[in-house]
Chains A and B, each alone.
Chain A
């Protein structure tokens, strides 16, 4: 199929439609609104459900209702709206119904701003609501990847009866890139057997997001944890550049000694920096997690066996950083470069951080004596000395 130039938000909407989304509920918020607007036109054209809810609180609960009906359903929002959805997400998780959430992150905290950010890593990856569970979180770095991961999101949501979040930042949502869209899928003929469709000719179905007795609630939690472990075993996805194997650069040998870890748009910028550093002869590669949950911890731990050091780059104050540190487990130093408030890290700044990491780790470190070395760079660029009045 021919490629076409599309804005990230609209490409995701069209991908969802082609993946067979049957209902969309949402509330306007920048930088996600084009997704909702696109749906408001396309869904009724196709005889599918579009509804602009009165709030994100209502939207996520409408999603819950449609998911209970066994329908392919989604919503989209941006950081403050996602905060409002947390309770609903928790109910969806407790009920084991599938739902796809698109979060086009913006700067926080508070009203923050509408500029791109990755500051929802904690709120989406770590929990997305109260209770013990984790959704699947997919982090695209290009518009094409956003399209592909949106289709995957529906498949995984249904396969595991779980929440799947497509987590991107405002830059990707607003950016136009050439994309190849998937073919239009047929809608499911009948809802699944567990769906709430009326007890016609069968025993009643109920969706109950609570268990009063402690042993029953623990059993529900064990089931959830088994599912999460199953997902962790089977669904880890990442992309590596110049690290080893087919990706390795022939000139500089087959294994990177320094590993940059970055996801989404930050991963894209980091790739330019990695390429620039390699031009200077630094053996550095990029590991870009695609599933933030399940996190590629085993792979990072494996890389840490031989790597001299890690640099984490994020558009936040160091959220994924915590998972990288846990994965590296003190086997190598982990530095951090982050920008916040809607600032995007620049390739030059990242390249400088790579150079620093290279300098610091070029002498051998005796871990047995010094113990785990974890370095943390100042977040953001050095401040210019203040001159005049302030």
Chain B
């Protein structure tokens, strides 16, 4: 008989407490799932699950409330920062964050995000920039790259008639109310680890009452980019990062 070594079980990796055991509806290779996980890990690490409140957008992540084990509200398209303001102003002890796509935040909701930042609203924003309107089938977003083909810019985004990419970190960091503004990418494990640190920092900014915090995450939408998931990640690195440079745009320590 072959001797069997005594077996001891050791958990080395598990679902964060702040994540639900819900099967995902996101496409294969979609980065929303990764972004969700980073947020859930940050919530766990900071021990804020029981006072965290999610405001989900309209976009593919309208379903985000399904995937977090925390209280949540779904806002109208673009209005998440206003809804979050109503939640936070009436319950300042709660940790309120929005999770928004680029169409939601940089197009229809540009007024709400600018004013939330301008007021120094003590909120956290997780901004997932995949350069298209994912949910409606890949139309041009304000963040679409010059020349990029989408279902509503079939010949490529012509900057002469369709304008230039909106750079939200650059814009928002100009405002005095903004305390922490950073851009990260999800295209590689190393970048994902950096993204996680920024998300933790953004929540800490809110916990310490320093004001508005936002982390922009460059993400892929393989379905609407018409690319294989791995190619899409490569494309973030080669095409998106040059237009949307990574880094900290605002780090204000005092409140």
Contacts and interface: CB of A to CB of B under 8 A. Distances in A.
B207 interface: no
A71 B85 CA distance: 13
Contact of A91 (B62, B76, B112): B76
A58 B79 contact: yes
A352 interface: no
Contact of B86 (A57, A69, A95, A206): A69
Interface in B22-72: 49-53, 55, 62, 65, 68-72
B74 A65 contact: no
Contact of B82 (A61, A67, A73, A200): A61
Nearest to B108: A57
A95 B90 CA distance: 18
Nearest to A71: B90
Nearest to B75: A61
Contacts of B49: 199
A200 to B, nearest CB: 4
B175 interface: no
Given A54-B112, A206-B71, A68 B76 contact: no
Contact of B71 (A25, A54, A64, A204): A204
A64 B76 CA distance: 10
- Count class of interface residues, chain A: 35 or more
A5 interface: no
A364 interface: no
A49 B92 CA distance: 11
A63 B112 CA distance: 14
Main secondary structure of the interface of A (DSSP, over half): mixed
B65 A206 contact: yes
B71 A67 contact: no
Given A65-B83, A200-B50, A207-B74, A58 B112 contact: yes
Nearest to A87: B76
B90 A196 contact: no
Main secondary structure of the interface of B (DSSP, over half): helix
B171 to A, nearest CB: 15
Interface in A193-240: 196-201, 204-210
Contacts of A87: 76
Contacts of A206: 65, 71-74
B69 A68 contact: no
B115 interface: yes
B82 A197 contact: no
Given A54-B111, A61-B112, A87-B76, A23 B89 contact: yes
What 4 pairs across the A-B complex have the smallest Cβ distances?
Answer: A65-B86, A61-B82, A200-B50, A62-B86
Given A54-B115, A196-B87, 20 more contacts: A51-B89, A53-B82, A54-B114, A57-B112, A58-B79, A61-B82, A62-B89, A64-B83, A65-B82, A65-B85, A66-B90, A69-B86, A88-B79, A91-B76, A197-B71, A198-B70, A199-B50, A199-B71, A206-B71, A206-B74
21 contacts: A23-B86, A54-B112, A57-B79, A57-B111, A58-B82, A59-B82, A65-B55, A65-B83, A68-B86, A71-B90, A73-B86, A91-B75, A95-B73, A196-B71, A199-B49, A201-B50, A204-B71, A206-B73, A207-B73, A207-B74, A209-B76
